[in-house]
Amino acid sequence: MEARPTLSIQRSGAKQLSNMGMSGALSSSLPVLPAPLQETYPKLPDSQHVYMERELVKRPFNHASHLPSDSGVAGHMFSSSPGFSSDLHYSSLLPHEEHSKTSPFISRSSTIQAAFPLTNTSHSISVQSTNSSHYAEENSASWNTDSLPSFLDFPVNTFIESSQVESSGCNTVLPSEEFGKWADQLISDDVANWNELLGDTNVTDLESKMACQVSKPSPNFQAHESQVHQQLPVPSGEIRAIATPTSSANSAPAKPRMRWTPELHEAFVEAVNKLGGSEKATPKGVLKFMKVEGLTIYHVKSHLQKYRTARYRPDSSEGSSEKKLTPIEDMSTLDLKTGIEITEALRLQIEVQKRLHEQLEIQRNLQLRIEEQGRYLQMMFEKQCKPGMDKLKASASTTSQNPPVPSSDAVPDSPAKTELKASQLDHCHGKTGAESVNANTGLEETSWELDGKEKAPEQEAPQDFEPDESSSQPSKRPRTDE
Amino acid sequence: MKFGKRLKQQMQQTLPGWRDKFLSYKELKQLVRQISSSPTQSNGSLEYGKAEKEFVYLLNNEIEKFNAFFMEQEEDFVIRHKELQQRIQRVVDIWGQNGSQPSEANYKDVMAKIRKDIVDFHGEMVLLVNYSNVNYTGLAKILKKYDKRTGGLLRLPFIQKVLQQPFFTTDLISKLVKECESTIEAVFPAEDGKKTRQPKQAITVAEEGIFRNTVAALQTMQDIRRGSSTYGHFSLPPLNLPDSDLTQSIQLISPIPII
């Protein structure tokens, strides 16, 4: 949703702006694009303070001329890019004079966002208003300018954590220096200078800021996702709209995918049997019988089709991707000896498959833990930023020694401390460069300790991380309610 | 580059219907290169913002692709799993647990067919888990590249989002795999004596099929994790296969190209 202000500015108004913006000019040729983007963008809420970093990294994107024209697999992706690039012109239409509102640091982003609807209305981009009706999102107000205040209220507090997280992130070496300068500039500027500051950088900075806001996934979203996840096992039918919880509201009813579970399938089979078998049962009847909330007739229809295929042509459904299998099919001619050989071959096959699966699980767990650790470190940074620099130094060394231990202490504190303290934010970011190096080495040591003992640590590490994870989830949720 | 090649290998060796469902790693890498090599200008940050947005947009498209494919397959597997269970149940009902009198040969045939089907089913599910993992790895790598090249901070929050996606939450499939394994235990005749399975000579797996794909997947995984030139704290350690002789003794012969 935060993408929209950006894109609306980009449009010079001459072109129709699809809700998704990026591929707006191609909306005629690629009508399907708005939909997925519509779904995905709700996932990307604003992290308002991330832009502080972004604008410092000056790497413009070279437009259409350099984009690969097509590649077999990614053809669909790149067909959109030329249009996208060429459409993103900058109009200096942003009424930054609109920032007459008070602009202390905290509400700065609010004012920026406040400016956008005004921009939009002045451009009178009609598409947006139609799309806004589709856009019912759990974490933000709709596009209507009326609801702007709520739009402002919501994100300000909730995404600070993520923004802080990112700003003190792994690659802070380069941006942090410039950020420091920018932050100093920011602090030293008074209200009057805000307009100039913004005016100088013009639309461009705001563009990048908004863009960066867009690109940051929302912890709120994640929290909601995890809520959705955790709610899933409870009801008998485990319904899950496609990736985002909001997409079902966004897109047409037929679009969201159902995640079929064995339990749901059991209910389905029961319904089908009661209705006289897979041939006789109708989707409507099955749907009615199952009485599962959120299940649509489209889901049932497609599932019924799959079911029928699986039942009455088991060879075709299983062998669909194995057309060229070895000829073991002619069983009747095989004598006992060959039968044993075949069984042995199958045993070997199953062994290899088991092995692969085992390794995949291990790998997945490792990956999860690595990310968990990264996230933990970010939280540590953020927490340390608040109290001040001295504590930061001390904690950094503590981190490198024994990161998991203070987790239970750290996390409960963070909800309180992650209330937006913007002044501390830039304060801390200016100095983050050094500490991030410390902490990174700390992370490196510990992560390799863990990874070195691949087999054993399954027991110990999860203990360390689970309290972190479980408490970090609830700590995120209260913030989303704000 | 290494991962890209491995990914391509995997894609070529995977089941035909899956080939276009993998991550478009090469294209994304090219995009990253483009983004990072573009000349910096005074309004560079704006360009960068656009570039990042596009990058994110493409990544999201990829994720959508994975999710759609994964959930489709998952649904199929759920159905087939149940059907297999029922099929075995029917066989057991007719013939009892051990193969008994009525048409012994027929029983053997039926059982052989069932065994083959189960093992292949198991393999397909494992391949789906592998699919999920390969794509996740690719995403992690491309995000890392992006951050490195553009100085961005996209990776960490984005990957957190990815972790929650359906295509990465493979718990259900893993559960089905485990159930399948226990069914297989039940369906296969008891191990006779010592495990003579340890292959003394190389086994060549020339034909296409599930087995070939799983072997390929395993080998690829090993290769990918053999040792990275850019070890960081987000890198996976080298793969540690317990019975490496098992897989090493299996050679893959490339199939006769069908074009």
From chain A, pick out residues whose CB is under 8 angstroms from the CB of B37: 62
A166: contact with B, CB 8 A cutoff: yes
Q: What is the pLDDT of residue A113?
A: 41
- How much is the average pLDDT of A167-188? 47
In chain A, residues 38-97 whose CB comes closer than 8 Å to chain B: 39-40, 43-44, 47, 50, 53-62, 66-68, 71-74, 76-78, 80-81, 84-85, 88, 90
Q: What is the pLDDT of residue B192?
A: 57
Sign, CA dihedral B203-B204-B210-B214, equals positive
Question: Which residues are A137's β-sheet partners?
Answer: A140
Taking the C-alpha atoms of residue B221 and residue B126, their distance in angstroms, rounded to an integer, is 13
Residue A146 has pLDDT above 70, yes or no: no
Contact between chains at A58 and B247 (C-beta distance less than 8 A):
no
Residues with Cβ within 8 Å of residue A442, at least 6 apart in sequence? A377, A396, A399, A400, A401, A403
Over residues B213-224, the pLDDT tens digits come to: 767 777 777 776
From chain A, pick out residues whose CB is under 8 angstroms from the CB of B155: 170
Contact between chains at A339 and B161 (C-beta distance less than 8 A):
no
Residue A227 has pLDDT above 60, yes or no: no
Taking the C-alpha atoms of residue A396 and residue B125, their distance in angstroms, rounded to an integer, is 44
Give the SS3 label for residue B16.
helix
Both structure tokens of A191: 């209200």
Both structure tokens of A68: 């690969």
Confidence of residue B259 (pLDDT cuts 50, 70, 90): low
- How much is the average pLDDT of A72-100? 41
Identify the residue with better confidence: A13 or B222.
B222
SS (H, E, C) A136-148: CECCECCCCHHHH
Q: What is the pLDDT of residue A336?
A: 60
Residue A49 has pLDDT above 80, yes or no: no
Count H helices, E strands: chain B?
8, 2
Over residues A284-329, the pLDDT tens digits come to: 999 999 999 999 999 999 999 999 999 887 655 444 444 334 444 4
A426: contact with B, CB 8 A cutoff: no
Radius of gyration, CA atoms only, chain A: 27
Phi, psi of B255 (to 5 degrees): -70, 160
The count of residues in chain A is 482
Residue A358 has pLDDT above 70, yes or no: yes
CB B31 within 8 A of CB A85: no
Over residues B62-89, the pLDDT tens digits come to: 999 999 999 999 999 999 999 999 999 9
Over residues A184-225, the pLDDT tens digits come to: 554 554 444 444 444 444 444 444 444 444 444 444 444 344
Q: What is the pLDDT of residue A329?
A: 45
Residue B48 has pLDDT above 70, yes or no: yes
How large a percentage of chain A has pLDDT more than 70? Answer: 22
B interface mutation test: which of A355, A356, A445, A468 has the most B CBs within 10 A? A356
